[in-house]
Structures are given as structure tokens and as C-alpha cells.
Structure 1
Amino acid sequence: MKKTTSILVVLMLLASSSIAMADAGLINVRSQFDVEKTADRFAAAATEAGLKVFNRIDHAAGAAKVGKSLRPTHLIIFGSPKVGTALMTSDQRVGIDLPLKALVWQDAEGKVWLSYNSPDYVFNRFAIDDRPKVKGKVTGALEKFAKHATQP
């Protein structure tokens, strides 16, 4: 009985300290860098992989322009027109989630996070099941970019 309890405690600790957590279709990865450096590293990884960074939005700067305060929050809009077009030929409505986005933000405790939509969530949302290779590549690429952005 004691061994079972110990195993449960260890599993709960591992689950609570997980680097990547799923939350309503989002993958949240804790960063070891500040918001700006995490965003820069993510954008660089995406660009180096041949993706286009279409825009970067500093939400905190936008809030400041209207006299409001917001913890550091950067949105990166990125993608590949080639891949996006292929997905939209499966279901054109997936364009509502494209280009892809990554949000780098600081929580109330000062921790920095990188969040992005889970490819499983997006593919399932539109029942896109005719592009397993694309799904695998997108998943792998996002994991790689997230690791590069958040880990030394």
C-alpha cells in the first residue's frame, strides 16, 4: 500500500511540473528566458526552418498606448503558405487558425511561458485526417521550435 502511495505522489509531482502542459487545445511550455528572448528564439527557429514570420505583436506595448498595464506578452504569427494551402484544400475553414500563432507571456508569478495551439486540436477541430504526414511534420516542428525558444 505504501509503495502505491509513493508512486502516486511521484506521478502527481511529475504531472504538475511538466514542461509542456495541454490546456484546452493549447500547449504551454515553460521558458528559461524572458519574454523577449523567448520570442526572438522562437521566431529565429521558425525562420531557420524556412517558415515566414508574418508579424510580431507586443500586446503590452499596445496596452501602454491606451494607458493600461499588461505583463509582457508577445504574439508571433508565422507559417508556410505551402503547408497552409494544403490544409485549406482539406477544409478551407482551417484558415481561421492559420497562419499559426505562438504566444510568449509572463504569468503573475513572473514565469515565462510559450503557448501554441496543439496540432491535434486544430486537425481534429476540422476533421482533417487526410494529411497525416503534414500533421506529423507540424507537430515535430512546433516541438522543435518550442524547445529551442525555451531551453538553453
Structure 2
Amino acid sequence: MKKLILVFVLAIVTSLSASDIIVKQSNCSVDKTVKNIKKIVKKKGLSVFATINHKGNAKMVGMKLRASKMVIFGNPKLGTALMKQDMRVGLDLPLRILVFKDKNGKVQMAYRDGSWLADKHIIDAPKKVQKINKGMDNITTKAGQCKKG
């Protein structure tokens, strides 16, 4: 019983500390949101490196999954500056936004707060982290704007 309580407490603490993940609702479909993200990212002069279709990958192995795609993108100049401080930052770069349909059928966009990089790696770059946060907020806000109906 004590082990079960410990596991429960650890699960709660872990979920509370997961506040570095920001989730925002999109008024668009998963596909339209992804298309919007790519367009916005390219317009900002960033590179789109890949789009991963989690639902498509699940289907290839005979499994079902709600719509879920991840856009991987970044700014090599910014990423390189951070990696020069701590090469392990490369584990968390490039940036990514997960677009998915939740269990209620609503489209969500999820991404990590830029402070994750500073908290988990040895970097001193508050302005760069702030730039990442502002950029991710702007991208997701714009990407999720579609007329309802």
C-alpha cells in the first residue's frame, strides 16, 4: 500500500512540474493548423525541418491514433549560439509544435516553454529564451486562427 501511495504522490508531483508544456486550442483542423504553422515559420525566415504524422505512423503498424502531427523547425543561428554554450541543448532543438485532436475532438497545439532549455542545460541566455517564448506564442496564436463554422 505504501508503494502505491508513493507512486501516486510521484505522479502528482510529476504532472505539476510539467508546467513547461504550453497547450493552446486551435480553431482550425489539425491539417490547416500545421499548414498555418509552416507558412508562419517560413515567413519569419526559419527553417521547417520535418513534419511527423503520428496518426499515419500508427496506421502503418496497424494501430489507431487521433490526428496528431508535429512540426519541427528552427533558427540555426539561434540554436548554434545555444549549443555553443552547452552542446546537449541539441537534444531539445530544433523547436517543435505538436498539433493534435484531443479526446473531446478539439484541436490543440502543444509546445515547450523556452525556459525548459535554461532549466535543463547550462546556458545563460535569458534574451534568447525570451525570444523563443515570444516567437512560439506568436506562431501558435496566429496558426490557430480560423473562422468557426
Q: Which TM-score bucket, shorter chain as reference?
A: 0.7 to 0.9
Off by >4 Å, runs of 4+ in structure 1: none
Distance 1:150 1:23, change over 3 A: farther
In the alignment, the residues of structure 2 paired with residue 48 and residue 123 of structure 1 have an alpha-carbon distance, to the nearest angstrom, of 27
Deviations 1:37-58 (A, max 9, x none): 1111111111110100000011
* TM-superposed deviation, 1:26: 0.8
In the alignment, the residues of structure 1 paired with residue 136 and residue 41 of structure 2 have an alpha-carbon distance, to the nearest angstrom, of 9
Out of 24, 27, 32, the residue aligned to residue 27 of structure 2 is: 32
In the alignment, the residues of structure 2 paired with residue 111 and residue 74 of structure 1 have an alpha-carbon distance, to the nearest angstrom, of 14
Which sections of structure 1, spanning at least 5 residues, go unmatched? Answer: 1-21
Partner of residue 126, structure 2: 132
Distance 1:144 1:81, change over 3 A: same
Out of 135, 139, 143, the residue aligned to residue 149 of structure 1 is: 143
- Could you tell me the percent identity over the aligned residues? 37
2:45 matches 1:50 = yes
In the alignment, the residues of structure 2 paired with residue 75 and residue 57 of structure 1 have an alpha-carbon distance, to the nearest angstrom, of 5
2:60 matches 1:65 = yes
In the alignment, the residues of structure 2 paired with residue 51 and residue 44 of structure 1 have an alpha-carbon distance, to the nearest angstrom, of 10
RMSD: 1.4
Letter in 2 for 1:52: S
In the alignment, the residues of structure 2 paired with residue 82 and residue 151 of structure 1 have an alpha-carbon distance, to the nearest angstrom, of 29
Structure 2 residue matching 1:98: 3-state secondary structure:
coil
Which sections of structure 2, spanning at least 5 residues, go unmatched? Answer: 1-16
Partner of residue 4, structure 1: none
Structure 2 residue matching 1:27: 3-state secondary structure:
strand
Partner of residue 3, structure 2: none
Structure 1 residue matching 2:73: 3-state secondary structure:
strand
**Normalising by the residue count of structure 2, what TM-score does the alignment of the two structures yield?**
0.82
Structure 2 residue matching 1:134: 3-state secondary structure:
helix
In the alignment, the residues of structure 2 paired with residue 123 and residue 32 of structure 1 have an alpha-carbon distance, to the nearest angstrom, of 31
Out of 106, 110, 117, the residue aligned to residue 105 of structure 2 is: 110
* TM-superposed deviation, 1:87: 0.4
* TM-superposed deviation, 1:23: 4.1
* TM-superposed deviation, 1:139: 1.2
2:98 matches 1:98 = no
Give aligned pairs, total. 130
What pairs with 1:82-97 in structure 2 (closer than 5 Å)?
Answer: 82-97=77-92
Structure 2 residue matching 1:116: 3-state secondary structure:
strand
